[in-house]
Amino acid sequence: MTNYTGEAAYIVISLIDPKGNYEKTLFVHGNDAQWYNTIEEWWQKFHSKKRSDIDAITGATISGGGRNITVIDIDDSKINAGYKIRFETAVEDQKYHTSDVEFELTSETVKSKQDGKGFIRYVRMMPN
């Protein structure tokens, strides 16, 4: 995370299909569901409609300057098939970033570092 001040960030990691639609929530950093609506795009276009149980894939929020390792499962069929991964971030009383980090899932990007545009400093992918 960047060295911002304020509350810890809520982060949603989503799989985006080749048409730009949400396909699946991969992970949520932030386990207090009352704040999920602050991650506006994900909330309005996916979660509030599907109301899927995400209890098993939630973790703590991440504070400014913090680091975290998150294990996410992406099926190999999504690589080099036009799918993207999106990291949305929200911090209380601060700006919301729809695509703090977003990139196409390719053989190269799943082994690379992607810079953030908001609260995320960078994301480094490490395939299993």
| DSSP structure string for 66-119 | ----------GGGTTTT-EEEEEEE-TTS-EEEEEEEEE--TTGGGSEEE-SSS
In a domain, 2, yes or no: no
User: Which comes out higher in pLDDT, residue 58 or 36?
Assistant: 36
Q: Sorting pLDDT into bands at 50, 70 and 90, what band is 56? A: very low
Indicate whether 3 belongs to any domain.
no
Distance of CA 103 to the CA centre of its chain: 11
State whether residue 36 is helix, strand or coil: helix
Confidence of residue 112 (pLDDT cuts 50, 70, 90): very high
CB 88 within 8 A of CB 42: yes
Asked if the structure places residue 119 within a domain, the reply is yes
Is residue 38 included in any domain, yes or no?
yes
User: How many other β-carbons are positioned within 10 Å of the β-carbon of residue 36?
Assistant: 20
**pLDDT digits 0-9 by tens, 1-35:** 999 999 999 999 999 999 999 999 999 998 887 88
Can you tell me the distance from the alpha carbon of 72 to that of 103, in angstroms, rounded to the nearest whole number?
Answer: 15
Q: How many domains does one find in the chain? A: 1
Per-residue confidence band for 75, with pLDDT thresholds at 50, 70 and 90: very high
State which residues form the domain around 51.
10-124
The answer to whether position 31 is within a domain reads yes
Euclidean distance between CA atoms 9 and 66, whole angstroms: 10
Q: Quick check: is 5 in a domain?
A: no
What is the C-alpha separation between 3 and 17, in angstroms, rounded?
Answer: 32
Tell me if 1 is assigned to some domain. Answer: no
Question: Looking at the whole model, is its pTM more than 0.85?
Answer: yes
Q: 126, exposed or middle or buried, with CB in 10 Å at 0-12, 13-18, 19+?
A: exposed
Residue 95 domain-assigned (yes or no) = yes
pLDDT tens-digit map of 30-49: 888 788 888 888 988 887 66
